[in-house]
Structure 1
Amino acid sequence: MPKPLPLIGSHPGGRSALTCRFRCGDACFHEVPNTSGNAYAGDVIAGAVRRRALLRGAAVTAVVAATGAAGATVGAPGASAAPGAPAAPGPAGKDRRGARGLRFEPVAPNTADAVTVPEGYRQNVVVRWGEPILRGAPAFDPENQSAAAQAGQFGYNNDFLALLPLPGERGRQLLVANHEYTDEVLMFRGYDPENPTRRQVETAWAAHGLSAVVVEEDGRTGRLSAVPRHHLNRRVTATTEFRLTGPAAGSALLRTSADPGGRTVLGTLNNCSGGTTPWGTTLHGEENFNQYFAHGSRATDSRYGIGTGATERKWERFDKRFDLAQEPNEVHRFGYVVEFDPYDPASTPRKHTALGRFKHEAATVRMTADGRPVVYSGDDERFDYFYKFVGSKRMRAGNGRAARAHNLTLLDEGTLYVARLTGDSPAAEIDGTGKPPADGEFDGGGEWIPLATATATGAVSHVEGMTAEEVFVFTRLAGDRAGATKMDRPEDIEPSPRTGKVYVALTNNTNRGRSGYAAADEANPRNANKHGHVLELTERGGRAEATAFGWSLFLVAGDPEDPATYFAGFPKDRVSPVSCPDNVAFDPHGNLWISTDGNQLGSHDGLFGVAVRGERRGELKQFLTVPTGAETCGPLVQERRVLVAVQHPGEVDGATVERPASTWPDGPGRIVRPAVVAVWRADGADIGV
């Protein structure tokens, strides 16, 4: 019989305590790592020194209360509707009044143990945890999992998704997926959290990492399915060899007994969101890596949230590299942006130290006019920062060997920046309730503060008292010293491919305004912020490499009937309620799509589309919800298909293999399995038109 799970109080956000244990190591139950005293910039500058000269997006006008009750929407049979559901005008499957790309009947908030999609749409599971994708891999057997089997099968808890073209293979694309973390309680029957077995631990190592798998469309039905044993299919795990590249590679800070050169590391951990590059690779952010390492003792360990005792998974019992008392530098080799070449199954993935070390959520690329990469990334922690890397080398066109080799070095040279935001209203006018300041707008300007620059011959620090190597390895400390703005969990950051405006998802921060913590400011205007918001940033002159920007709050999440919510000025009686924005993406029409994590409005998490331009700017509509205990991840919106990663279904407090909280995706009597889902129009037409 399995031992009972430790008693843990409910999470201050919407996640279950079980999710907190295995996904982020109970980060929200620990002290906030950022104890720096960065000031609110609205008090630093005089009111006359305004940022209105900066180009910025449409300013946020005064927040108004909802005007009228919302009507019913289409949901799954038996689903429990939450209050505040939006109206559903128009013929079945469409809302002719919606923005192009968003003309569908919004799904009602619900608690159905299913993926619920709009009327007139269909869905299928593309690939599940454990499905064999490599030649020789066995069929999934949940009662006899092993590292060898899992290393040839699709990994666990899929997050970021990328779909890449496959020239010459009609109807096929190459799917790349992150596998953020494992939940051993839901993977192994009879799991004893105090005494995991070596077989369980090594299987979990193999379930982390990345999967590349070719997928094929059924032209008659719209279904998408995995192609097993394709030569491009690949697994990357927690024991795969990686190269450390860039300015910190070889540093004494990265050397271990197993790697005295400090340039080779085994594995990648807790890959959350990511991005794709114009040169045909994918980027993956290592996020809550801290939870895998035991016995941290240094001040730098504390800043990264590394505990002083044993870990939840107890991997340190089976490999000393996870025990910092034995290998103090091993943890310095995680927390980077990983670059993966899915078109070369023999390639060695890279960890780019020039992009800094922190809890990376996303790594999205925008190119400068002269062909240099700019990478945006958030640090997913309460009161931490968001960053930008501006490369100094130009991309080479073509797929030849020389061009590809050159392009794989583009993220090793350039300057790393951190964001400082300045509200244009005095701090006294930001009262923490969400009430706008006297000018009626939550907006202002900002600057990208340089932290360090890497070149082909060396690196230079721009932070007093820190070497360049220290900046790239202890990037959070560099951000502290530079006076970066403390944000409410900056997660995915996505530049619009049409306008260049940059959208920052800020998931929540219930500690905002509490005694001993930073109070609300103009960029994070609500204390006890449990619903989050989305910031719209405009680089000065529209240049990706600019060192100044304007910003405004595009969306302040929550129940539309709450006066403290805002939807870019769109009437609030005509939007879906949304809570805890996490991953974001753009569709072919330029609409922003938002997936949620930890919904605080009584419904399951979901996927939402919102117009960012034109007369319907701010029109937000829910496209789907995910099953019990699940999170919506990795959204991809193509012309005729939407893909989502359904992560940690059934991850509800008290759930185990023996006592499942969900029967998704395969029904009663089958183990709960994270999976990738495709959604399409039943009539074969484009999404939302």
Structure 2
Amino acid sequence: MTSPHPLSCSTGPTARPAPSPASPTALLGLPSRGPHGSRSAMTCAFRCGNACDQPIPNVSGNEEFHTVAERAMARRQVLRGGVAAAAVGVLAFSSAAPAAAGPRHPRPRPGPVARAGAGTWSFTPVPPNRADEVSVPDGFTTDLLIAWGDPVTRDAARFDVRRQSAAAARTQFGYNNDYVGLVPHPRRKDRALLVVNHEYTDEPLMFPSGTHTPQQVLEVAIASHGMSVVEVQRGRLPGQWSVVRPRSARHNRRLHDRTVFEMTGPAAGDARLRTSGDPSGRRVLGTFNNCAGGTTPWGTVLSGEENFNQYFDASGELDPRHAASYARYGITGAGRGWSAVDRRFDLSVEPHEPYRFGWVVEVDPTDPTSRPRKHTMLGRFKHEGANVTIADSGHVVAYMGDDERGDYLYRFTSRSTYDPRPSARARRHNLTLLTEGTLWVARLDGDGPDDGVHDGTGEWIRLADDRRSYVPGMSVAEVLIDTRLAADQVSPTRMDRPEDVEVNPVNGRVYAALTNNSNRGTRNPPDEANPVSSSYVRAALGAPLTRASGNRNGYVLELEPGRGGHTGTTFAWNLMLVCGDPQAPETWFAGFPKQLVSPISCPDNVAFDAVGNLWISTDGNALGSNDGLFRVPVDGSRRGLVEQFLTVPLGAETCGPFIAPDQQSVLVAVQHPGEVDGATFESPASTWPHTHTFPRPGVVVVRRA
């Protein structure tokens, strides 16, 4: 067993270590096949600990988005009328329902560079495929920017897949990159700072058989989580980027399991955040299962800790005082064996350690000596990410999704206002904006079956601010630590896996990816906002459509802030996209003619170009093709025209995406290539990026050839 780190659990009762697995493949006892859409059993096991096989943690009985949409099922019958329905839909939602309309968010106008960039690229959509490559339209090319094992820090060890170690992994680009962001370099205009999350590990694809002991496998896996900050430099051609050699990159940084994070906000120091390794409850080692994120107006990066619950084992009985909280967050004690090398992941030894994860993390990439922070004021749940906008009032607003079947949409509004001045004093002030404010949760309601679209109004319900709780019987700290339990009490709307939630900088509307819910229509009935109780899926490319229960293809939800803008309490909502095969009767593409759109399934992350087009990356395509990236206009005559811009390799998920500031390139993280049932290091399903005989997750830049 490794020696305890100063902030790990170095005191307390001796734990009975979790059984050591005999091989990387035996780590989780993988099922023989994946039951959820096109996801493999490997993805289900390693990404989220088979969350869809577990009971839905939200048993509150609050209204489902599907129930909201059920009140519009009659209107969906109208939509099945084809062209006439499309005409209705085009007219039905041009901005939002007028009942909640109010002042709009300011719309910055793109400059000449933006007009010539990604928003106006003309391309022939990439057809669905199962190729083991990043497929892009004719006239475009891809550059591999960085991949698993590449050096990050100056002292980085040379990557040797047969001699991996935790120490080396903490100096190298980690595994399974998800969020991608570019932050301006503080000194050089020809450089930028690339910030990437490393969400989870897939040991059967990472380790050759017989080269590492079970303990070494666990140590490397833990160290391969976290985040990387890497300096990149512009190339000669438009849209080109390359990694700067670590010895010449002063801002490179690797955040990992031994990086100290500071807790901020009202819950910092609370008794449930204290452990034997950190009696203060204010310092946490590491960040894990980081999914999406966002870049703040003051130049920091926000990262969301998502499926953290799967990392905790139990060597004995669980403390019954934590039973309700553990159950609401899916914490069972059946973890991944991490407690065998670090006792803080043993719930029987450190029952408070799970409360130190599930937060939004803020990292300042421009200061490699700064301590990253976990903001308790933004609540604790399975954060997909957090994305910030500045309201007309100057207050900071962060939108967030809790990526679980049946969980909620959230919003944070700051107490103080943003200071736009380019001064050190202003920056110090802005770095405090996420520590004080108000946390809200969303309730949606349908507006009846007579207007031909899935839409309605909604309201934001206060949970707590930094001084007062609005949930009876719970303190501020309790609301922030057990945000799910607090939200259950105020009757918000249960959603179908709300993931990335972002504000369109051009039209000011909010777009949320609702990835899917395979139980919709069985355990969870449909509603106006979650209308699909059955769907048509393809078993493989070219196979006939077959009917299956559940919302397997997901939605894209569009919110229009009401009176008061982004800090107001009301909004209008519309299902802009009901995803799936265009031939399926339940699909909807904002009224655009269905025969002209690309099939799209399981929206995950969103981004915007400078003219306001929505870019959607997918995760778990249930239509038989590899996952991809899609561009969709959200206004005008082309609103709803879904066009596939790229597909990722076999078994991979499309992550990111990020439109470069000059609009000349799109950055995409290719996550878990080759994560296909039965694949191993020796028998890979993918070898992308084809630099080795095994797959390596990495970040690519797509630009015009």
Normalised to the residue count of structure 1, the TM-score between the two structures is 0.86
In structure 2, distance between residues paired with 1:322 and 1:647: 26
Paired AA for residue 182 in structure 1? T
In structure 1, distance between residues paired with 2:153 and 2:159: 12
Residue 131 of structure 2 corresponds to residue 131 of structure 1: no
In structure 1, distance between residues paired with 2:118 and 2:304: 32
Of 228, 231, 249, which aligns to 2:245?
Answer: 228
Provide, for residues 291-312 of structure 1, a one-character-per-residue CA deviation record: whole Å limited to 9, x for no partner: 0012356121011011133x13
Count of residues in Structure 1 that have an aligned counterpart in Structure 2: 619
In structure 1, distance between residues paired with 2:556 and 2:415: 29
SS of the residue 2:512 aligns to: strand
Deviation at 1:656, TM superposition (A): 1.1
Please give the residue correspondences for 1:538-549 in structure 2 after superposition, counting only pairs within 5 Å. 538-541=560-563, 543-549=565-571
Of 138, 163, 185, which aligns to 2:182?
Answer: 163
Paired AA for residue 491 in structure 1? E
Look up the match of 2:56: 32
Look up the match of 1:483: 491
Of 20, 23, 41, which aligns to 1:17?
Answer: 41
Deviation at 1:63, TM superposition (A): 2.7
Look up the match of 1:351: 374
Look up the match of 1:63: 79
In structure 2, distance between residues paired with 1:231 and 1:66: 58
Identity of aligned residues (%): 55
Look up the match of 1:204: 221
Higher RCO structure, 1 or 2 (CA under 8 Å, sep 6+):
2
Residue 686 of structure 2 corresponds to residue 662 of structure 1: yes
Look up the match of 2:597: 575
Change (3 A) 1:605 1:560: same
In structure 2, distance between residues paired with 1:167 and 1:25: 40
Deviation at 1:635, TM superposition (A): 0.3
Provide, for residues 317-362 of structure 1, a one-character-per-residue CA deviation record: whole Å limited to 9, x for no partner: 1111101111011000000000000000000000000000000012
Paired AA for residue 501 in structure 2? I
Change (3 A) 1:644 1:41: closer
In structure 1, distance between residues paired with 2:157 and 2:118: 46
Deviation at 1:387, TM superposition (A): 0.1
Look up the match of 2:674: 650
Please give the residue correspondences for 1:59-458 in structure 2 after superposition, counting only pairs within 5 Å. 62-64=78-80, 101-166=120-185, 168-190=187-209, 197-220=214-237, 222-229=239-246, 230-295=249-314, 298-309=323-334, 311-312=335-336, 314-425=337-448, 437-454=449-466
Provide, for residues 495-528 of structure 1, a one-character-per-residue CA deviation record: whole Å limited to 9, x for no partner: 11011100010000011121xx331110100121
Look up the match of 1:468: 476
Look up the match of 1:91: none
Residue 546 of structure 2 corresponds to residue 522 of structure 1: no
Provide, for residues 120-174 of structure 1, a one-character-per-residue CA deviation record: whole Å limited to 9, x for no partner: 0011100011101211212211111112211111111110011111254243211
In structure 2, distance between residues paired with 1:20 and 1:394: 41
In structure 2, distance between residues paired with 1:258 and 1:599: 42
Deviation at 1:541, TM superposition (A): 2.9
Moved more, 497-506 or 142-151: 142-151
Deviation at 1:40, TM superposition (A): 5.7
Contact 1:65–1:560 (8 Å) recurs in 2: no
Look up the match of 1:92: none
Provide, for residues 529-553 of structure 1, a one-character-per-residue CA deviation record: whole Å limited to 9, x for no partner: 0000011001103611011111011
Provide, for residues 385-413 of structure 1, a one-character-per-residue CA deviation record: whole Å limited to 9, x for no partner: 01000001112234543322222111011
In structure 1, distance between residues paired with 2:234 and 2:341: 42
Paired AA for residue 299 in structure 1? A
Change (3 A) 1:100 1:351: closer
In structure 1, distance between residues paired with 2:695 and 2:375: 35
What 5-or-longer segments of structure 2 have no aligned partner? 1-21, 84-116, 534-549
Deviation at 1:117, TM superposition (A): 0.2
Contact 2:66–2:532 (8 Å) recurs in 1: no
SS of the residue 1:205 aligns to: helix
Contact 1:66–1:561 (8 Å) recurs in 2: no
Paired AA for residue 283 in structure 1? L
Change (3 A) 1:99 1:645: closer
Change (3 A) 1:586 1:60: farther
Contact 1:185–1:191 (8 Å) recurs in 2: no
In structure 2, distance between residues paired with 1:565 and 1:275: 29
In structure 1, distance between residues paired with 2:77 and 2:664: 35
Deviation at 1:13, TM superposition (A): 2.6
Normalised to the residue count of structure 2, the TM-score between the two structures is 0.84
Contact 2:390–2:418 (8 Å) recurs in 1: no
Paired AA for residue 565 in structure 1? T
Change (3 A) 1:548 1:130: same
Change (3 A) 1:170 1:280: closer
Deviation at 1:42, TM superposition (A): 10
Deviation at 1:191, TM superposition (A): 7.0
Paired AA for residue 568 in structure 2? A
SS of the residue 1:493 aligns to: strand
Deviation at 1:64, TM superposition (A): 3.9
Moved more, 360-369 or 594-603: 360-369
Moved more, 140-149 or 272-281: 140-149
Contact 1:133–1:227 (8 Å) recurs in 2: no
Change (3 A) 1:598 1:439: same
